[in-house]
Amino acid sequence: MSTSAQTDRFVHEQLPPLAQWPELLYGTPELQALQQTPQLNLVHELLDRAEEKGFSDRPLLRSPTRTLSYAQTRAQVDRMAQVLQQDFGLVPGNRVLLRGGNSIAMALAWLAVVKCGLIAVATMPLLRAKELGEIIAKAQPALALCDAKLLEELQLAQVQQPVLKTIVPFQDDANPASLESLAAQKTGLTSACATAGDDIALLVFTSGTTGKPKAAVSTHLDVLAACETWPRHVLKARADDIVMGSPPLAFSFGLGGLLIFPMWAGASVYFPDIPYTPQAMAQLIFDTGATICYTAPTFYRQLAACMQEQAEQRGEASKLRLCVSAGEGLPDATRQLWKQATGIELLDGIGATEMFHIFVSSPPDAVRRGAIGRVVPGYVAKVVDPAGKELPRGSVGRLAVKGPTGCRYMGDARQTDYVQDGWNYPGDAFLQDKDGYFFYQSRADDMIITAGYNVGAPEVEDALLRHPAVAECGVIGRPDEARGMIVKAFCVLKPGLHGDAALVHELQDHVKASIAPFKYPREIEFVDALPRTETGKLQRFRLKQL
């Protein structure tokens, strides 16, 4: 690997010691070629090289008000890069905080930051000042780029964290100091920073399903290596695809699915100007001719009926051909509901912020019911006991993974929880069958042990979701003196229904008839909503706090 271009070494110096790193594997020809490239800048590879790949005039970024081709996107990104370098004097390795929803403006700003060799620190739009302050304190950004509608909370955080000296809105026609206004004064193309593959491209703060977020580091090589695994071997997007979805660009699932992987394939991405609801997403899928959709299982469940309504009203099916589910476990009930509504087999996958994207998944034509899929080419995975010894097929244990990406936390003692003996432990309990298919059981720390029996919360949730009264549910283990734990369910009912003792018994009997009777929820509590992260993940730790 060539010499680092990042003169600001703040993040590099807080990487864990090499002895705590995962073993990184580059086992395919594509990955080996990437590893051996002297300089590697992912925006150069994905955007600057679009012309030689024949993508230059193809659309890349779409919205209701504008569409930018690959060439137009590069021109705008280059002008923004000049602003960051010339007007603000940023140098490679400086961190830049980005705050915004999914939009063309957010995508352009992110690409400009990384092209300059700066480190992108994208944040979820719903974070408040306290949470933003914690990120600023840890990442020490030199500059923040922000959607003008989201400035207030960031400015409040800035008061508490004056290390953030400058906040610049993405675009604001009335503000000559906005990023797009300043960029309009620049001309000419800009060369990408000659970063090394192991220079850092982004920090992603984990979405907090387990409590205090951690800063996961991804290099330029990590992100490009991720393009050569799941997108190449499983997704297989095409240049004529139109991609849309709900995961935020601040979340690695959204960044990969809604920006990086479409660019790698020469495809385009549609960003709406309204928040996604199931009704709005269904209409836009038909209106835009979207062919690939990304969202979480909960949203697919809500979206299914809306897709049926649109198809019936229009007298035709949508153009969707691939629908990707990730972010949390996909209940088989949701998979079958979506297939009944659209005729499309959901493409399931499990990935991790720490490893950038998906590493266990199978294409729709190789689905095994109830399974997430097999290990993605480029990775290896196994199910192990508490000592790290591989278990016989059919046993439940911890998932361990290696590949071309792996966990490196910035300045966090929890590195040794995630990486052990070179293996990444994402914290999930799995079973692997004789054919190599992985079946998700639960988060490793969410396995419910009741009266000596192991019960995976997702299996109980899937059974409950098959009852016509249940819209959403979350299952946890509640401490119990007699059994150690009991299975407890929190259920959100469909509109117009009310929970009572009779419905509790009905749901319990339904679960007993669906799966092993010892797995039924001995307690059921009806709630109006479940605690979720901004990316849609169920926060079981908050259910446990209840």
Identify the pLDDT of residue 452.
59
b/e string for 177-202 if b means 16 or more Cβ within 10 A? ebbbbbbeebeeebebbbbbbbbbbb
Residue among 232, 261, 203, 254 at smallest CA distance from 33? 232
Tell me the residue type at 98: L
Asked if 423 and 388 count as a contact pair (C-beta separation under 8 A), the reply is yes
Show Cβ contacts of residue 147 under 8 Å, excluding neighbours closer than 6 positions. Answer: 99, 100, 101, 103, 105, 106, 125, 169, 170
Identify the pLDDT of residue 215.
95
Identify the pLDDT of residue 220.
98
- 93: phi > 0 → left, psi -120 to 50 → alpha, else beta; which? left
Domains of the chain: 12-227 (3.40.50.980), 262-444 (3.40.50.12780), 447-545 (3.30.300.30)
What's the pLDDT tens digit per position in 381-433? 999 999 999 999 999 999 999 999 999 999 999 999 999 999 999 988 899 99
Identify the pLDDT of residue 444.
67
Nearest-10 Cα torsion for 467, 471, 476, 478:
-80
Q: Give the pair of three-digit tokens for residue 201.
A: 């491209």
Identify the pLDDT of residue 369.
87
Identify the pLDDT of residue 513.
86
Integer Cα distance of 286 and 282 in angstroms = 7
Quickly list DSSP for 480-543: ETTTEEEEEEEEEEPTT----HHHHHHHHHHHHHHS-GGGS-SEEEE-S---B-TTS-B-HHHH
Handedness of CA 520, 524, 529, 530 (dihedral sign): negative
Identify the pLDDT of residue 211.
47
Tens of each residue's pLDDT in the chain, 546 residues: 578 999 999 999 999 999 999 999 999 999 999 999 989 999 999 999 999 999 999 999 999 999 999 999 999 999 999 999 999 999 999 999 999 999 999 999 999 999 999 999 999 888 888 889 989 999 999 999 999 999 999 999 999 999 999 999 998 777 889 999 999 999 989 999 999 999 999 999 885 444 467 899 999 999 999 999 999 999 999 999 999 999 889 989 999 999 999 999 999 999 999 888 899 999 999 999 999 999 988 789 889 999 999 999 999 999 999 999 976 778 888 899 999 999 999 999 999 899 999 999 999 899 898 899 999 999 999 999 999 999 999 999 999 999 999 999 999 999 999 999 999 999 888 999 999 999 988 776 666 877 656 677 888 898 899 999 999 999 999 888 767 789 999 999 999 999 999 999 999 999 988 877 888 999 999 999 999 877 677 888 888 887
Long-range contacts of range 63-69, CB-CB < 8 Å, 24 or more positions apart?
Answer: 63/103, 63/104, 63/270, 63/271, 63/272, 63/273, 64/272, 64/273, 65/273, 66/104, 67/268, 68/104
Half-sphere exposure for 310 (CA within 13 Å, toward CB): 22
Identify the pLDDT of residue 405.
97
Distances in Å between the Cα of 424 and the Cα atoms of 49, 227, 274, 503 are 33, 19, 38, 42
Pairing relationship of beta strands 143-146 and 167-169 according to DSSP bridges: parallel
Pairing relationship of beta strands 448-450 and 438-443 according to DSSP bridges: unpaired
| Partners of 293 in the β-ladder | 244, 323
Integer Cα distance of 508 and 107 in angstroms = 47
Integer Cα distance of 294 and 253 in angstroms = 9
Pairing relationship of beta strands 95-99 and 143-146 according to DSSP bridges: parallel
Q: Is 160 exposed, middle or buried (0-12, 13-18, 19+ CB in 10 A)?
A: middle
b/e string for 30-66 if b means 16 or more Cβ within 10 A? bbeebbeeebbbbbbbbbbebeeeebbebbbbbbeee
Identify the pLDDT of residue 209.
41
Residue among 523, 525, 512, 544 at smallest CA distance from 470? 525
Identify the pLDDT of residue 518.
81
Identify the pLDDT of residue 280.
94
Identify the pLDDT of residue 17.
96
Identify the pLDDT of residue 507.
97
Identify the pLDDT of residue 208.
46
